[in-house]
Copies of this chain bind each other. A is one copy, B any other.
Amino acid sequence: MTEKPKTDDAMTIRQMCDAYAVTPRTLRFYESKELLFPIRQGTRRLFTKADRARLKLILRGKRFGFSLEDIRQVLDLYDRDGSNQAQALRTYEIARARLAQMESQRAELDVAIAELKVELLAGEAMLATLPRAAE
């Protein structure tokens, strides 16, 4: 039993779009970039459960700010051999590097926010000196 991972759960491109809030163009684009591998029924694409799993990872990766290329590499590693420790380690390293980037970016953002707040205070002070034309 449980021996039927065939096309039981295949979804059309439109169903995918509705389910994941992406455009057809996006899905085709991801396929062209080898991020997704929908099967074909004639000329049409059918997205399997595996594709949906990958798409979820892709969208998550994007939220993290990974580039599609980064994401592709990680997906490749998962696909090729999920139980290879060298590859798992590589994935881990990529993620760690990205985390470092994000934390650095956040630090810069914090500085910029602080500076901008100072500017705003100065701006408010200036505005207060010339409150003419009070309707």
Residue pair B130, A85 in contact (C-beta under 8 Å): yes
Q: A85-B132, A85-B133 are in contact. Are A105 and B95 (CB under 8 A)?
A: no
Cβ-defined contact, A106 with B103, below 8 A: no
Copies of this chain in the oligomer: 2
Interface of A is mostly: helix
**Minimum Cβ distance to chain B for residue A87 (Å):** 11
**How many chain A residues have a CB neighbour from B under 8 Å?**
36
Q: Is A98's CB under 8 angstroms from B85's CB?
A: no
Verify if A14 is at the interface (C-beta below 8 Å from B): no
- CB under 8 Å from chain B, chain A span 77-112: 83, 85, 88-89, 91-92, 95-96, 98-99, 102-103, 105-106, 108-110, 112
B123 and A64 form a contact (CB under 8 A): no
